[in-house]
Structure 1
Amino acid sequence: MEDKQQGFATFGGPVILTLVCEVATRALKAVRYQKFNVHRRLRPEGVGGLIDRYLTIPNLQDGELKPIAPLVEALRNERLLDRVNQFNNGQSYLLPMAFPEGSPMHPSYGAGHATVAGACVTILKAFFDHGWQLPLGKDEATGRYIAYEPNADGSGLVEVLLEQPLTVEGELNKVAANISIGRNWAGVHYFTDYIESLRLGEQIAIGILEEQKFTFGENFTMTVPLFDGGARQI
């Protein structure tokens, strides 16, 4: 009978959609607190500006910009600064950004997009069969699963062969990662903003699910897969 029944007020569309929206607002409030009341991390754009001034205005190197000397040396050792300077024909150590107006004016960590993505995806993984495998075709010669990915210039799709099938959990994790990493590509966040904010959103969603369980009449448990490969039972 399980394929002939559907949830409604509990385990159905209304409650799932409502929770996805609710965790989004909670995630934004939580990450805003982390931004302004705890970390106040400088945006990559700001750090880039300090590095450029350090390298182009020598009399600042032993003054107000002396604290960033270890960072500059680390970048020199990786030859990143040489590559950027060469790209700019020796005129600047700055790189272009996706946003002409620059970074948002609020601090870098946590990342609002990543926190909301982590929270919403966690709700979906809790309510849906996260281990369900997408119905992919198989390559007759190798027996591997057939999937598709963009070609090098993004103009079309090319076939790839996978050892393991795609799952609901994996695809939801991709959604969260793409939303978060897109902000890194734009130059307004660090990698750690992305991964730690996903985990922050995940914990917010789990906390709400634990609270919501007491409002359900049914006796149930949920096993929620986590971004770090573990699981949490509610």
Structure 2
Amino acid sequence: MVDCPSNTAQQHDYEARRTEAADLRDQQRDAAANEFNVTSAPVNGDEVRFKNIGLPGFASFTKSLTHNANGLVDPSSFQSLLDALQVGTQEALEQVQLGGGKRQLVNPLNAFSFELIGNDSNGARMAAAPTFDSRSTAIDMVERYWMALCRDIPFDQYANSGLIQAACDDLNALGFDEQFGFVCTPQTVFRAPYEGCDVGPHVSQFLLQDFNFGNQPIRQQQRYPRPGVDYMTDLNSWNQVNNGDIDPSGTDILDGSRYITTMRDAGQWVHIDLPHQAGLWATLMLLGQKAAASKAIPYGVDITTSVPFGSLGAPDISIQAGMAGVYALKHAWFQKWCLHRRLRPEVYAQRLELFRSGLLGGHADTPCNNEKFNELFGAGADVWRHTEVLDRIYEHNRQQNIAQNRCDRNGSWLLPMAFPEGSPTHPAYPGGHSAFAAASATVAKAYFADGLFPNPKVPVEGGSKLVDYHTKGEPLTIHGELNKLISNVTLFRDGAGMHWRTDGTLSGRNAGHGRPGTGIETGGNLLGERLAISMLRDTRYTYRETVGTFEFQSITGNPVRF
């Protein structure tokens, strides 16, 4: 009789493995702890300033709390929010005094969540948001108005649009370059200052091209809202939404499907997307294109007898991009709720309208030129005396109120909102979309090499189909289109009226690519990028493969190597 081979499983030294795993966890815990900043976080001082002059919450997030007839928050309701956030427990937040109760606060407890991959959210630091009375905030608001007015202009018609040129002229005359790092032209307006963002079509290839999700073909046509319909352009509807008396979420008027063609289309994409969606789409597209891996990936170079899969392959890389998006939300939520509590642009515009209508003192015939206005708007007051946008906004809102049969048939200086419910019920700074888009795109930059973007497309015939894009001048690149993806997801929210530019992007004279320095570190883009780098720092040591150096360019224009 022939003896059969033993079926006994190969013996492993599990004790040694347990020790190695514990050591690795300790190592990454120490790396995150070493980067945890325990110094006081910078804030802009608006909360204290307006409390001291008898207007608590005037320049802060208060949506869905209790407000008076002029849309100003009830001091006790506002204080109940501050008290609850100081405690940071589920029980404490149940004591917040809401207004109408139809809209509720969005997930403030996430500000206190811990992270087991990458750096902890509470240890991250970013620049304070620009103050309410700053010139930066005023010019930022002027851009919000122009973006609203230009929502229905096709991106490929910007060069021929008199309205776009008027926006550029007004913003440049006010000093947009000084505040945000670049001059506005039809090719640069409403874009971010990162490399690749001003090259080629306005919309990133990662939001245009069709791709496969496993065996399912995904067409990137999306439902688009009815052109010419804006919301919250009269004080009656504005007050109801702000106080939480109504919740019109989900009542968008959608007319059909097409590829993203206008800012209004783009706003709808970022209206109902998920945090991991843009990064996952980009990663799946690059995998489908068989894009070259970065030099950090050893497969095909040092490893030639096997291919990647659960580690450094499609299942791994795609989920890393998604996880970075969700973890970036924790970072944004800590900054939003625990530190900055910045008001949304729709509220700043309402403060302007209170002066225009004579409800906040001064004279309605000279709303931007009185002592009270100068006191509250500070350096920004001069911007409102010189911009050309307010008359256009008044007339636009007058026409909206008549066409939509709203209570007040006159015009206003309110910000025309793309969504019926206006902005979400969480603070503006930093933008959640800006953080998670940058985090996901940074993971893609780390795992995929830069190079020419293959077979770029552009929508035609009203967005009904895509055709080949023939490069005019500088070609599109993979990392440039990832930067543009960050820009799009960030600024499409601005175009819908949700955010300030400084909620998302770097600002200041050094913010533009090709300029020295990194600009002012405002916004969620840099916050998300740094979170992604800390996650990659941790995950790289979990692989059995020898991972090389990750190398790519930061949105600041500076090299990243680790």
Question: Into which bin does the TM-score normalised by the smaller protein fall?
Answer: 0.7 to 0.9
What is the CA-CA distance between 1:18 and the residue it aligns to?
2.7
Larger radius of gyration: 2
Q: What corresponds to 1:225 in structure 2? A: 553
Aligned counterparts of 2:461 and 2:349: Cα–Cα separation in 1: 29
Q: How far apart in 1 are the matches of 2:308 and 2:394?
A: 59
**Number of equivalent positions:** 223
Secondary structure of 2:424's aligned partner: coil
What's 1:48 paired with? 349
- Out of 451, 464, 486, the residue aligned to residue 132 of structure 1 is 451
Q: Is the 8 A contact 2:418 2:497 kept in 1?
A: yes
Deviations 1:23-72 (A, max 9, x none): 12210111000101111111000000001001211652456994125434
Describe the shift of the 1:108–1:219 C-alpha distance in structure 2 as closer, same or farther (beyond 3 A): closer
Deviations 1:186-210 (A, max 9, x none): 0010111121211111000001111
**Structure 1 contact 51–72 (Cα < 8 Å) conserved:** no
Letter in 2 for 1:60: G
Partner amino acid, structure 1, of 2:498: V
Q: Is the 8 A contact 1:50 1:65 kept in 2?
A: no
Are residues 183 and 198 of structure 1, via their aligned partners in 2, closer, same or farther at CA, if it must alter by over 3 Å? same
Amino acid at match of 1:77: H
Select the residue among 101, 104, 107 that pairs with 2:427. Answer: 107
1-structure distance, mates of 2:337, 2:413? 29
Structure 1 window deviating more from structure 2 (2-11 vs 176-185): it is: 2-11
- Partner of residue 144, structure 1: none
* Paired letter, 2:489: I
Aligned mates of 1:198, 1:155 — CA distance in 2: 31
> What residue is the counterpart of 1:37 in the other structure?
338
Q: Do residues 6 (structure 1) and 334 (structure 2) align?
A: no
Greater Cα offset, 185-194 or 161-170: 161-170
Q: Residue 471 of structure 2: SS of its match in structure 1?
A: strand
Distance 1:23 1:219 in 2: 19
Q: Which amino acid aligns with 2:488?
A: N
Q: How far apart are residue 76 of structure 1 and its match? A: 2.2
CA distance in 1, matches of 2:372, 2:476: 54
CA RMSD of aligned residues (A): 2.7
Please identify, of 15-24 and 30-39, the stretch whose mean Cα deviation from structure 2 is larger. Answer: 15-24
1:122 corresponds in structure 2 to: 442
Q: 1:199 and 1:59, CA in 2 relative to 1: closer, same or farther beyond 3 A?
A: closer
- Offset of 1:167 from its aligned partner? 1.8
Counterparts of 2:423 and 2:335 in 1: how far apart (Å)?
18
Contact 2:336 2:430 in 1 (8 A): yes
What amino acid is the match of 2:355?
Answer: Y
Q: 1:18 matched to which residue of 2?
A: 319
Q: What is the alpha-carbon distance in structure 1 between the residues aligned to residue 382 and residue 501 of structure 2?
A: 20
In the TM superposition, what whole-angstrom CA distance separates every residue of 1:171-197 from its partner, at most 9, and x where no partner exists? 222222211111011001011112121
The answer as to whether partners of 2:345 and 2:415 remain within 8 angstroms in 1 is no
CA offset digits 1:103-149 (Å, max 9, x no partner)? 112111111111111001100110111x222345xxxxxxxxxx554
- Using a 3 Å threshold, how does the CA distance of structure 1 residues 134 and 85 change in structure 2: closer, same or farther? closer
Does the aligned pair in 2 maintain the 1:108–1:189 contact within 8 Å? yes
> Hey, what's the Cα distance between the residues in 2 that align with 1:10 and 1:105?
39
Note closer, same or farther for the CA distance 1:177–1:219 as it changes in structure 2 (3 Å cut): closer
What letter is aligned with 1:49?
Q
Q: Could you tell me how far apart the structure 2 residues matched to 1:169 and 1:23 are?
A: 17
Distance 1:60 1:190, change over 3 A: same
Decide whether aligned partners of structure 1 residues 180 and 53 sit closer, same or farther in structure 2, where only a CA change above 3 A counts: same
More helix by share: 1
Conserved 8 A contact 1:24-1:116: yes
Give the Cα–Cα distance (whole angstroms) in 2 for the partners of residues 152 and 187 of structure 1.
27
Partner of 2:552, secondary structure, is strand
Residue 529 of structure 2 corresponds to residue 202 of structure 1: yes
Q: Which moved more, 1:162-171 or 1:106-115?
A: 162-171
Unmatched segments (≥5 aa) in structure 2? 1-298, 363-370, 399-409, 506-522
Q: 1-side partners of 2:485 and 2:466: how far apart?
A: 18
| Matches of 2:559 and 2:378, distance apart in 1 | 42
Q: Answer whether contact 1:44 1:189 (CA < 8 A) is retained.
A: yes
Is the deviation greater in 62-71 or in 37-46?
62-71
Q: In the aligned structure 2, how far is the partner of 1:46 from the partner of 1:39?
A: 15
The gaps in structure 1 that reach 5 residues or longer are 137-146
Shift in Å, 1:155: 5.9
Shift of 1:152: 9.7
Partner Cα separation in structure 2 for residue 115 and residue 229 of structure 1: 18
TM-score computed with the length of structure 2 as normaliser: 0.37
Among all aligned residue pairs of Structure 1 and Structure 2, give the percentage whose two residues are the same amino acid: 33
Relative to the length of structure 1, the TM-score reads 0.83
Counterpart code for 2:481: E
Tell me if the contact between 2:396 and 2:411 (Cα under 8 Å) persists in the aligned partners.
no
Compute the displacement of 1:94 (Å): 1.7
Partner of 1:75: 384
* In 2, Cα distance between equivalents of 1:97 and 1:59: 23
